[in-house]
């Protein structure tokens, strides 16, 4: 893509976000996106005095972040850090002038950065955050926040104490399709929201080949319980955030069942999870994730009395109205003195198969929301003021994912914690 093409694409993307967030109530429903898009719309055409970032963790995700940061107008990667040398080498092509470090302490001590980006295994997030705050730096950290609910809260407490920005990566919160979906849901287009069915189904082992110079705990950290809650923290967190966001609440409690059902390869985390998150008023989020069937993929089916939204597919569907029965019409005709032929003989049993109406597009576009996340982060760092509302959403999503793990592990309903850190 040429610079001109990219500028047009970027402009178009930001315009869509601005349009999606312009509706009534959106300023309170997605204030972070309003703030980030407004700042991005007024950004200078070329980078000047960008926020200097040091990226810790340059595996697949870290390298993807580096590429998105490169697209932003107000951030630049000046340092990269990874304890596994091959990852650093791979990352260098996207940040050729960045200084390289094998140890994050060395990177923090070397100074010359304004903030760190953390894209490391989950169990390391909290410690790295604390060290960054102690070094006087702001932090952008991948979701989920931390391995324990206590550490999630501690990250917030540390950020507050240090007076620094803590932003968590939840790209759907900046995606124009999701924002448009929320806008239309809030406008009542799908009626009263009572249930969300969310799933993330894959058909692979979720296991990576281990190079000769590494060990399995390093490479496949997501499969070890002390390092990750598996599907819950690495995948479900995104969708639980969407659920909380659309239902405008946090769960009251969660029940669930998890198992190592298919990939009996020595992994410690579940390869099948099924949970029900209960919300006030009897509303529910039903979540499943598994690793041996990909037919239903990744989706959130947001179900209301008048319609359904499927944001990953970018579609909104109206409920098909009930059939008007001929005899009911006849009854009304007689009441008003009108006689007409009654169409009769249609089947009164119809298979209750999934409705396959095509629905309507919610709008689609290039997947640049991660770029906008960083532009928002850059503005927050410059202003010394976090994007409003974002951290609360992220914290609640991480807590929900970890609470779900507890419900499955303990085989009992877990109520929403009452001792969470206030934001």
Partner 1 sequence: MGIAARVERFVAMGTRIELHVFGVGSEDALVAARRAIEGVDDALTIHRPSPTTALNDELLAGHSVAIDDPVLAEALIAIDAAHALTEGLFDPAADRRFAGAGWGDLVFDRSSARIAATRPLALDFGGFGKGFALDRACAALRDAGVVCACLSAGESSIAVIGEHPLGGGWPFAIPDPSRTDAVLVEVELVDEALSISTTVGAGTQAPERAAMIRPTDGGIVTAARCTVAIDRTGGAAEAMSTALLVADAARARRLLDAAPAQRFLYDLSKAAARTDDTARMQAA
Per CB under 8 A, 346 contacts partner 1: yes
Tokens of 188: 């009542």
Per CB under 8 A, 48 contacts partner 1: no
Q: Which is nearer to partner 1, 11 or 338 (CB)?
A: 338
The Cα–Cα gap between 362 and 379 comes to: 28
Site string for partner 1, 281-310 (x = CB under 8 A): ------------------------------
The Cα–Cα gap between 69 and 97 comes to: 14
The Cα–Cα gap between 248 and 117 comes to: 29
Site string for partner 1, 315-344 (x = CB under 8 A): ----------xxx--xx--xxxxxxxxxxx
Q: Which is nearer to partner 1, 209 or 327 (CB)?
A: 327
Size of the site for partner 1 (CB under 8 A): 23
HSE at residue 326, side-chain half, CA atoms within 13 A, is 10
Q: Which is nearer to partner 1, 45 or 345 (CB)?
A: 345
- State the residue for tokens 């260098």: 92
Q: Which is nearer to partner 1, 264 or 340 (CB)?
A: 340
Site string for partner 1, 101-130 (x = CB under 8 A): ------------------------------
Where do the H-state alpha helices sit in 72-124?
85-92, 104-109
Question: How many of the other CB atoms lie within 10 Å of CB of 282?
Answer: 8
Q: Is the peptide bond before 144 cis (omega within 30 degrees of 0)?
A: yes
| Minimal distance, residue 326 CB to partner 1, in Å | 7
The Cα–Cα gap between 31 and 184 comes to: 16
The Cα–Cα gap between 93 and 122 comes to: 25
| Minimal distance, residue 357 CB to partner 1, in Å | 16
Q: Which is nearer to partner 1, 22 or 342 (CB)?
A: 342
Tell me how far CA of residue 398 lies from CA of 144, 173, 401, in angstroms.
5, 15, 5
| Minimal distance, residue 335 CB to partner 1, in Å | 6
| Minimal distance, residue 66 CB to partner 1, in Å | 55
Q: Which is nearer to partner 1, 219 or 326 (CB)?
A: 326
Q: Which is nearer to partner 1, 321 or 346 (CB)?
A: 346
Tell me how far CA of residue 417 lies from CA of 150, 195, 392, in angstroms.
11, 22, 14
The Cα–Cα gap between 45 and 74 comes to: 10
Tokens of 381: 């760092």
Per CB under 8 A, 358 contacts partner 1: no
Question: Which one among 4, 45, 49, 349 touches partner 1, defined by CB under 8 A?
Answer: 349
Interface residue list for partner 1 (CB under 8 A): 325-327, 330-331, 334-351
């Amino acid at each position: 893509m040429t610079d001109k093409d990219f500028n047009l694409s970027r402009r178009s993307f930001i315009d869509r976000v601005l349009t999606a967030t312009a509706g009534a109530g959106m300023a309170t429903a997605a204030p972070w996106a309003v703030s980030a898009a407004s700042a991005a719309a007024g950004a200078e055409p070329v980078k000047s005095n960008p926020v200097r970032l040091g990226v810790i963790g340059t595996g697949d995700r870290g390298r993807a972040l580096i590429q998105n940061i490169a697209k932003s107008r107000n951030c630049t990667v000046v340092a990269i850090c990874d304890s596994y040398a091959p990852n650093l080498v791979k990352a260098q092509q996207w940040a050729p002038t960045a200084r390289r470090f094998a140890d994050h302490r060395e990177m923090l001590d070397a100074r010359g950065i304004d903030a760190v980006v953390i894209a490391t295994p989950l169990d390391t997030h909290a410690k790295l955050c604390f060290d960054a705050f102690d070094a006087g730096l702001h932090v952008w950290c991948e979701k989920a926040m931390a391995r324990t609910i206590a550490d999630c809260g501690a990250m917030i407490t540390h950020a507050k104490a240090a007076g620094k920005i803590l932003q968590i990566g939840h790209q759907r919160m900046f995606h124009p399709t999701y924002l448009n979906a929320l806008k239309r849901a809030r406008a009542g287009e799908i009626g009263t929201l009572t249930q969300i069915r969310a799933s993330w189904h894959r058909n692979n082992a979720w296991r990576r080949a281990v190079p000769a110079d590494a060990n399995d705990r390093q490479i496949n950290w997501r499969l070890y319980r002390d390092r990750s809650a598996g599907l819950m923290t690495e995948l479900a967190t995104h969708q639980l955030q969407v659920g909380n966001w659309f239902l405008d609440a946090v769960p009251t409690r969660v029940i669930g069942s998890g198992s190592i059902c298919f990939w009996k390869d020595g992994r410690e985390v579940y390869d099948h999870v099924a949970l029900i998150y209960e919300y006030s008023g009897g509303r529910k989020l039903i979540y499943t994730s598994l690793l041996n069937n990909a037919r239903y993929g990744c989706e959130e089916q947001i179900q209301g009395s008048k319609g359904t939204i499927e944001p990953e597919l970018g579609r909104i569907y109206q409920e098909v109205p009930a059939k008007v029965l001929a005899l009911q019409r006849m009854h009304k005709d007689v009441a008003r003195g009108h006689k007409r032929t009654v169409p009769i003989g249609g089947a009164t049993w119809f298979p209750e198969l999934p409705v396959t109406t095509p629905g309507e597009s919610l709008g689609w576009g290039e997947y640049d929301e991660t770029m906008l996340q960083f532009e928002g982060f850059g503005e927050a760092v410059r202003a010394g003021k976090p994007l409003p509302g974002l951290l609360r959403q992220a914290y609640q999503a991480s807590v929900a994912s970890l609470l779900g793990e507890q419900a499955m592990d303990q085989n009992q309903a877990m109520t929403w914690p009452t001792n969470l850190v206030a934001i």
